[in-house]
Structure 1
Amino acid sequence: MKNISATLAIVWRIAAPYFRSEDKWAGRGLLAVIVAMELVLVAINVLLNQWQNRFYSALQAYDLPEFVKEVWIFLGLAFTFVALAVYKLYLNQWLQIRWRQWLTRHYLGEWLDGATHYRMQLKGDAADNPDQRVTEDVKTFVEQTLTIGLGLLSSIVTLASFVVILWGLSYKAPLYIYGTDIVVPGFLVWCAVAYAIAGTALTHWIGAPLINLNFEQQRFEADFRFNLIRVRENSEQIALLKGENAERGRLLQRFGFVIGNWYEIMSRTKRLTAFTASYGQAATIFPYVVVAPAYFAKRIQLGDMMQTGSAFGSVQDALSFFVTAYRSLAEWRAVIARLDGFEMSVSAAARGATLEPAIDVVPSKGEAITLEQLLVNLPNGTPLVAADAFTIQPSERVLVTGASGSGKSTLFRAMAGIWPFGTGTIAIPEKAKLMMLPQRPYFPIGPLGDAVIYPAGHGSIPPEKIRDALVAVGMPRLADRLDEDAHWNRTLSLGEQQRLGLARALLHVPDYLFLDEATASLDEPSEDRLYRLLTEKLPQATIVSIGHRSTLDAFHTRKVALVEDGAIHVLGDGALTAKEPSAAG
C-alpha cells in the first residue's frame, strides 16, 4: 500500500499542474465530458444486461412480437453506444494532445531555464536521455494516465451497478445442490469476488518483475539510440580514425543489453499471458457452471441464466481490472518513475544555481567586470581557479593564457553565469550585453540566416546585414544561401563554423565579447584579418580572448595568466613562466 500511495502522489504531482494551468478550463471541460460519456456507456451496458433477459426469454417463449420489439430496442442502444464510444475516443485524443503540449512546454521550460540542462550534464545526472523523457515518456504518461484512470472509473461504476443486479439474481437462482436450495445472500457476488481476488493475487505474483524490466528496457533503448546519434554526429572523425569496427563493437554491446532485457520481458510476459488468457477463458464459462443446476432444475428461465452470465462477467471484469491491465500498469509505473527522476534532477540542478556556497553573479553600477574573492571549483568541490580584486575595464583587449586544464574555459563559464560551483562574486555592469564564442560554435538546424543570428529570432536582423557580415568574415559563398536549410555544424568545417561565429558577434554587437579559442582552427593570416575586423567593427566592445598563439599578443592590450599555485590556478597579470602546450585549456 505504501508503494501505491507513493506512486499516486507522484502521479498527482505530475498531472495536477495542467488542470490548474492557463489551459485548465479546456482540460477540465474535456475531462468532465469524457467522464460523463464513460458513465453513460456503463448505464447502456446495464440496460443491455436487462435487455438480454427479455430477449432470451422471448426466444424461449417463441414470442415473435416481443422478439421484434427487443431487436429495435437493441438497435437504439447499440447506435447510442457506438456514437458515444466514437466521440469519447475523439475527445480523449483531443485532451491527450492538449495535455501533452502543455506538459512538454512545461518540461522544456524547466529544463532549459537558466542553464539547468547544462548543470545536469556537468553533475553526470542520473536522469539519462532527457530527450526520451520529454518525448516518449510524456506521451506515454498522458495516454496511460487517461486510459488507466478512465478504465478504473468504469470498473468501479460497473461494479457498483452490476453488484446490485447480481445480488438480486442470487435470489432468483439460488445455490442448488443435490435437489436442495441453499440460500446464501448474494452468493453469485461472492463467487465473482473470490474468483477476481485469486486472479489478481496470482497475476501480481507472476507479473511484478515486469515493472523493473520495462524501466530497464526503456533505458537500454534510449542509451542505444543516443550512441547511434553520437556516431552519426562524429562520423568524420570515426572515418578518419578508421574506428568503424570499434564503434560496431560498442554499439552491438549496448544493443546486447536491449536484447538480453527483452528476452527476460518475453519470458515473464509469456507466463503472465498464459495465466491471464486462461483466467479470461475460464471466466466465460464459470458463471454458467455456477447457475446451471438451478436452470436444469427449472428454477430460472434461459433469460435469467443469460442475464446472470452477463452480470457475473461484468462484475468479474470490474474486479479483475488489475489482472487485465497489469502490463499497462507495469509500463505506466516505469514511466512515472522516469518522469519523477527527471523532475527531481531538474529541480536539483535548478537549486544548484542558488544554493550556498555558489558563485554569485550580480549586476553592478560600475563600468568594469569585477571578480571579488572568487574561487571556482569543479562539480566535485575540488578548487580550480582563484581570483580576487580582478577587473576588466571597458574597451580593454585582454588575452587570458594558461596551461591546458588550468581552468580558463571554466572561468569564462562562471562569468557567463552558468557555472555555480564555487564561491565569491562576479559583478557585471548593469545592462551590459555579453557574448561567449566557444571553439566549436553551435548552429541550430534550419535556415542559414537563422543559424547565424541565433539566439535572435527569425527576421530580427535584416538579411542584407547578415550577408554583409558573411562577406566580411570571408564567407561570401554563403551570402546568397540564407534561406537554405541544413545541419550547419555537420555541413561546414570547424574553421568555417568559427567564421560564422564571428559573423554572429558582428551582428549582435556585444559590449563584452569572450572568445574561447574561437579562431583556433583558422590559419594565422585569417586569424589576423578577423581580429582586425573585430577591432574595426566593434571599437567599443571589450574583447577577452583565450589563446595559445603568440601572434595574438599584437591584438590585445593586456595579458593575464592562470598560474599554478599548489592545487589551484591564480588569475593575475603577467606572463607565463613555462611554455604552454597547444591543446585547449
Structure 2
Amino acid sequence: MHFYNFQNLFLFFRNGGRSTKMADKAAKKDRAAVDYVFFLRISKIIRIMVPRWFCKETGYLVLIAAMLVARTYCDVWMIQNGTMIESAIIGRSNTDFKNYLFNFCKVMPLIALVNNFLKLGLNELKLRFRVRLTKHLYDEYLKGYTYYKMGNLDNRIANADQLLTQDVERFCNSVVDLYSNLSKPLLDIGLYIFKLTSAIGAQGPASMMTYLLVSGLFLTRLRRPIGKMTVTEQRYEGEYRYVNSRLITNSEEIAFYNGNMREKQTIHSTFKKLVDHLHKFIFFRFSMGFVDSLIAKYIATVVGYLVVSRPFLNLADPRHMNSSQPELLEDYYQSGRMLLRMSQALGRIVLAGREMTRLSGFTMRITELMKVLKELNSGKYERTMVSHQDKESEAVERVPLVPGSGQIINVDHVIKFEHTPLSTPNGDILIKDLTFEVRSGTNVLVCGPNGCGKSSLFRVLGELWPLFGGRLTKPERGKLFYVPQRPYMTLGTLRDQVIYPDTYEEQKRKGISDQVLKEYLDNVQLGHILDREGTWDTVQDWMDVLSGGEKQRMAMARLFYHKPQFAILDECTSAVSVDVEDFIYSHCRTVGISLFTVSHRKSLWKHHEYYLHMDGRGNYDFKPITEETIEFGS
C-alpha cells in the first residue's frame, strides 16, 4: 500500500465546516461557544424537533444508527476482502482471485443498499427536523401581531426572514451531520483499534492517534481567523445583495430621477468592499494551504510509514517470524488500510468538533429568536430608545412612559380615548393627553400635517402599538377594519381578494354566497373583473393585474364583505374618481359602517359629522363639522 494516501485523512480538517462566531460581543453569556449554555440551548430545540419517544424522527434516528453500524462492518469486510483479492493476484492464484471477486460482486448490492439507506435517513431526518422547527417558529411568529411587533416595536432581531428560512435549514442540516459525524467515527475508532492492536500491537495506533490529535488541534487553532473572516464575508455578501434588491424594488423611482449612475456608484462601492475582503481571505487560505500541505500530507505520510513498518522491519517480532512473503504483504496491506480508516475517523471527530462550534452559532441565533418570540407573545418587547430630542421641534416631548400601562376595554359600538398619551414605541410623545369619544353612526375625518400622529392613532386602535397610559374603550379587534392607501392583494384567487383574510370555508360558514360577493364588486364598480375572468377561482398576480384604483376599490369590496362596526380609511380612495368615492362612502353609511377617514379631499367632509385635527405640535381639536367649519384639504 502506498502511504501517500495518508494525506487524504487531513482533507477532513481542511475542507470541513468553518467555525463561525455569531455572538453578541457585549454579553459574554451570548457568545457562540461550545459550553454548558450551548448544550442547554440545543437540548431545548431538540425537544421541539423530537417531541416524543415514538415519532417519525425517532425512527429515522434509529435507522441512521443501524445503517452506520452496518456500514462500519461493510468497511471492515471490504478491507479484508480487498486485501485477499490483491494477495491472490500477487500469489497468482486464479481460483482464490475468482472466489473473492465473486464474493465482492455478491455483496455489492447489499453495500449499495446500506449506503443509500443511510443517505435516505440523513436527508429525511434533516427535512423532518426542518418541518418541526419551522412549524413551531411560524406558529409563534404569526400568533397575533407578533410578526408586526418584531419588525416595528422590537429591534433585537434584524433579519427574521433569514433566521426563519436559511438559518433554520442550516441548523437542522448541521445537527444531523453532527449526529452522523460523531456516531460512525467513534464506532470506527473502537473497532479499528481492536483490529490493529491484534495485528501490529497497541503502540502503532496510539502513535498515529497522538499525532493526529496534536496536528488537528494545532491546525484548528491556526484556522481560527476563518470564522471571523467568514462572518465578514457573509455580511458583505448580504450588503451587496441588498443594494441590488433595492435597485429592483425602486427601479421606477430611480428611473424618474435618472439615478442610474448614482446607483451604479453605490453598487460598485459595495462590491469593491466584498472583493477586497475576498482577496484577503484568498491570501489567508493560501498561507493555510501551505501549512496544511506540509503537516497534513507529507509529515502524515512519514508518520504512517513509520507506524506500519515498525512491526514488519523488526525481525524479532513474534507475529511475523514465521510468515511467508504473501502473508506479510497481506498483513501489511490490511494493517495499513485499517490505520488509514482509523485516522480518517479521528479526523472526522475533530471535524465534528469544529462543526459543533459552527452549530453553536446557529443554536444561539435560533434560541434568541425563540426567546424574542416568546416575550413578544407575552406583551414584552425591547427597543433602543432615543436619547435626545430635536431641539427645534416642539412636536415631540420625552417623558418617562411604561409600554402597556394603559387600560383597554372592549365594548361594542364606541371608541373612547380617556387621557391617553399618543406615543411612538420609541417613547416620543405626539399628543400628551388625547380625550374624545365616537359612537357608531358617527363618522370622523382625521386631518393634519405629516408626522402629527394620524397613523399612530390608528396603530394604537388596532393594538399594533402599546398603550402608554390612560384608558381606551373600543370594540374587539375583529370589529375594526383598516383600509390602507396601498391595499394588500394576497396570493390566490379572485375570491380570496374579496374575502381576505377569510378562507372559502369561512365564507361558507358565514353564509355569504358568491352572488353576494358579486354585489360587493358591483358596489365598487368592479363587476367587470369577474366577467372578464369568468370565475371566482381564477388565480392571477393581482398586484400586477389590477390598477391602483382597482386595488383601492377591491379593498372597499373587502370592507363590505367583513362589515365591521368601525373602519379606518387611510387615504384609501386617492386613486378613485370622486363620483365612485361618493357612492362608496354613502354605501358605508347605508350598511352601518362608521368611519375614521384620513383624507385631504374637501369632497369627503360632507360624509362626516366630526373632525379630529392634529397640528403636529402636540395639540389637537375634536369638534363637530358645521357650516362654519373651515375645511382642510383640496
Check whether TM > 0.5.
yes
Provide Cα deviations, 1:39-87, integer angstroms capped at 9, x if missing partner.
2212322334444565555566655555444434444444322211111
Report 1 or 2 for greater relative contact order, CA contacts < 8 Å, sequence distance ≥ 6. 2
Q: In the alignment, what sits opposite 1:507?
A: 561
Read off the aligned partner of 2:444 and give its amino acid letter: V
Change beyond 3 A, Cα 1:135–1:273: farther
1:467 matched to 2:518? The reply is yes
**Conserved 8 A contact 1:215-1:334:** no
**Conserved 8 A contact 2:493-2:540:** yes
Among all aligned residue pairs of Structure 1 and Structure 2, give the percentage whose two residues are the same amino acid.
Answer: 23
Match of 2:581 among 504, 516, 527: 527
**Conserved 8 A contact 1:192-1:316:** yes
SS in 1 for 2:33: helix
In 1, distance between residues paired with 2:236 and 2:154? 17
SS in 1 for 2:466: coil
**Conserved 8 A contact 1:364-1:429:** yes
Q: In the alignment, what sits opposite 1:12?
A: 43
Which runs of 5 or more structure 1 residues have no equivalent in the other structure?
172-185
In 2, distance between residues paired with 1:258 and 1:93? 33
Length-normalised TM-score, structure 2: 0.78
In 1, distance between residues paired with 2:540 and 2:226? 42
1:295 matched to 2:329? The reply is no
**Conserved 8 A contact 2:413-2:565:** no
Change beyond 3 A, Cα 1:558–1:386: same
Q: CA deviation at 1:397?
A: 1.1
Match of 2:570 among 511, 516, 526: 516
**Conserved 8 A contact 2:497-2:554:** no
In 2, distance between residues paired with 1:247 and 1:229? 12
**Conserved 8 A contact 2:608-2:625:** no
Where do 1:403-422 residues align within 5 Å? 403-420=449-466, 422=468
Change beyond 3 A, Cα 1:130–1:259: farther
Read off the aligned partner of 2:555 and give its amino acid letter: G
SS in 1 for 2:421: strand
In 2, distance between residues paired with 1:488 and 1:230? 22
Q: CA deviation at 1:436?
A: 0.7
SS in 2 for 1:215: helix
Provide Cα deviations, 1:522-542, integer angstroms capped at 9, x if missing partner.
344443232123223x2x222
Read off the aligned partner of 1:397 and give its amino acid letter: N
In 1, distance between residues paired with 2:476 and 2:368? 37
In 1, distance between residues paired with 2:302 and 2:359? 32
Which runs of 5 or more structure 2 residues have no equivalent in the other structure?
1-30, 321-327, 383-401
In 2, distance between residues paired with 1:499 and 1:376? 31
Read off the aligned partner of 1:228 and give its amino acid letter: N
1:320 matched to 2:347? The reply is yes
Q: In the alignment, what sits opposite 2:244?
A: 228
Q: CA deviation at 1:545?
A: 1.4
Q: In the alignment, what sits opposite 2:614?
A: 562
Read off the aligned partner of 1:316 and give its amino acid letter: S
Where do 1:478-517 residues align within 5 Å? 478-480=529-531, 481=533, 482-517=536-571
**Conserved 8 A contact 1:560-1:575:** no
**Conserved 8 A contact 2:415-2:473:** yes
In 1, distance between residues paired with 2:199 and 2:525? 89
SS in 1 for 2:144: helix
Q: CA deviation at 1:518?
A: 1.6
**Conserved 8 A contact 1:18-1:24:** no
Q: CA deviation at 1:262?
A: 3.6
In 2, distance between residues paired with 1:91 and 1:545? 58
Q: CA deviation at 1:277?
A: 5.5
Q: In the alignment, what sits opposite 1:45?
A: 75
Q: In the alignment, what sits opposite 1:177?
A: none
Q: In the alignment, what sits opposite 2:168?
A: 138
Q: In the alignment, what sits opposite 1:545?
A: 597
Provide Cα deviations, 1:214-234, integer angstroms capped at 9, x if missing partner.
334334434443443443333
1:204 matched to 2:220? The reply is yes
In 2, distance between residues paired with 1:264 and 1:12? 38
**Conserved 8 A contact 2:182-2:352:** no
Match of 1:397 among 427, 443, 462: 443
SS in 2 for 1:403: coil
**Conserved 8 A contact 1:210-1:327:** no
Q: In the alignment, what sits opposite 1:179?
A: none
**Conserved 8 A contact 1:448-1:484:** yes
Q: CA deviation at 1:499?
A: 1.6
Change beyond 3 A, Cα 1:485–1:229: farther
**Conserved 8 A contact 2:33-2:361:** no
In 2, distance between residues paired with 1:250 and 1:51? 63
In 2, distance between residues paired with 1:545 and 1:359? 28
Read off the aligned partner of 1:381 and give its amino acid letter: G
Length-normalised TM-score, structure 1: 0.84
In 2, distance between residues paired with 1:26 and 1:163? 35
**Conserved 8 A contact 2:185-2:348:** yes
Q: CA deviation at 1:434?
A: 1.4
**Conserved 8 A contact 1:386-1:570:** no
Judge which range, 221-230 or 451-460, deviates more.
221-230
Q: In the alignment, what sits opposite 2:24?
A: none
Q: In the alignment, what sits opposite 1:451?
A: 497
In 1, distance between residues paired with 2:249 and 2:540? 14
In 2, distance between residues paired with 1:463 and 1:270? 68
SS in 1 for 2:588: helix
Change beyond 3 A, Cα 1:63–1:4: same
In 2, distance between residues paired with 1:206 and 1:574? 76
1:439 matched to 2:481? The reply is no
In 2, distance between residues paired with 1:247 and 1:124? 31
Q: In the alignment, what sits opposite 2:398?
A: none
SS in 2 for 1:396: coil
**Conserved 8 A contact 2:612-2:621:** yes
**Conserved 8 A contact 2:140-2:373:** yes
Match of 1:339 among 350, 361, 366: 366
Provide Cα deviations, 1:309-360, integer angstroms capped at 9, x if missing partner.
1222122112222555688667655544543444344345444458963165
Judge which range, 306-315 or 239-248, deviates more.
239-248
Q: In the alignment, what sits opposite 1:160?
A: 190
SS in 2 for 1:4: coil
In 1, distance between residues paired with 2:47 and 2:621? 50
